[in-house]
Amino acid sequence: MVRHFLKDDDITPVEQAEILRRALQLKQAPYSVRPFEGPKTVALIFDKTSTRTRVSFAVGVSDLGGAPLIIDSQSSQMGAKESIADTARVLGRQVAQIVWRTYAQTGLEEMANYAGVPVINSLSDSYHPCQILADLLTVQEHKGQLAGLKLAYVGDASNNMANSYLIGGATAGMHVAVAGPAGYLPDPGIVTRAELIAAKTGGSIEIHGEPHAAIQNADVVVTDTWVSMGQESDKEQRLRDFAGYTIDSALMAQAKPDAIFMHCLPAYRGYEVSAEVLDGPQSVIWDEAENRLHAQKALMAWLAEQA
Ligand code: CP
Ligand code: NVA
């Protein structure tokens, strides 16, 4: 059966651990696995801008023996001119996998329904599951474990990163605490899903209305931009609403002394995080950015085997 990775709980806890184990192997031996030998082509479609995702998927497909085909949707027939279902049917006949950064999660679901090849969500308005795989790999490298650790996410707790930390972190057995101002808290449906997963993995979920309680005793502190792609017109309002949510040294000091700081990037110094923390000794953001490559290679290789 063709498997897809559209959201963090499209894989089980055992499968997530397996993908992370392989990611570590691929980090040590980058050219040891060649599922796209041929070369087979992987379509990388972008409806939104990207640096890390574009580079890490393109390099990753090449490393796995394949050829990356980057498609900017503005310069293709996708959207108004041709339906997602028809696009999926065309691509599925020619490429080995489809990686898509887009807006609505429903679009990804439609692509997966018609493509006949694995579809990977490389960021939607709802989730950023590839980023969470990279983040989990980074935590594992720096802390030696995932299950039982406390991960605190402070900021826009209603966005794609928060959703993916809740679901993906629970899948890894972590204690995920998120904090956001009123109006920027996770959808109750996401919280329930994360709680159900956590009940099986030994993790837990906490939702807070202010940053201190969430960050208390955390092993891992994370944040993300207050203005996600597609929300630019709300920027001024958002900057007002998130006052007091900047992760600075004083807030970071409430986490464990050996806590690490992560950010999916791009980061806006002085807004969601101070320069002192982002560029400071607890920050592991460059390892995290590099790990996009290794985690996604492991994911693509694993999906190639399931198909
Ligand atoms: N973190 C992340 O997805 O970065 P890009 O938007 O640069 O791809
Ligand atoms: N929440 C951000 C993540 C960017 C990688 C966005 O969707 O723009």
Residue 73 and residue 125: Cα distance in Å, rounded? 16
Strands of the sheet with 150-154, listed across from one edge: 204-208, 175-179, 150-154, 220-223, 260-263
Cα 210 to chain centroid distance, Å, stands at: 23
User: Which residues 6+ apart lie within 8 Å of 26 measured at CB?
Assistant: 32, 33, 63, 294, 297, 298, 301
CB 224 less than 6 A from any atom of ligand 2 = yes
128 in catalytic set: yes
Stated as kind and residue range, the H or E segment containing 179 is strand 175-179
Residues making up the chain, counted from first to last: 307
The token pair at 228 is 């996600």
Q: List phi, psi (to 5°) of 218.
A: -75, 145
34 in catalytic set: no
Q: How far is the CA of 150 from the centre of ligand 1 (A)?
A: 24
Helix-helix angle 13-28:285-306, to 10 degrees: 110
Ligand 1: residue whose CA is nearest its atom 6: 50
130 in catalytic set: no
- Digits of tens for pLDDT over the chain (307 positions)? 899 999 999 999 999 999 999 999 999 999 999 999 999 999 999 999 999 999 999 999 999 999 999 999 888 888 888 999 999 999 999 999 999 999 999 999 999 999 999 999 999 999 999 999 999 999 999 999 999 999 999 999 999 999 999 999 999 999 999 999 999 999 999 999 999 999 999 999 999 999 999 999 999 999 999 999 999 999 999 999 999 999 999 999 999 999 999 999 999 999 999 999 999 999 999 999 999 999 999 999 999 999 7
CB 264 less than 6 A from any atom of ligand 1 = yes
CB 101 less than 6 A from any atom of ligand 1 = no
175 in catalytic set: no
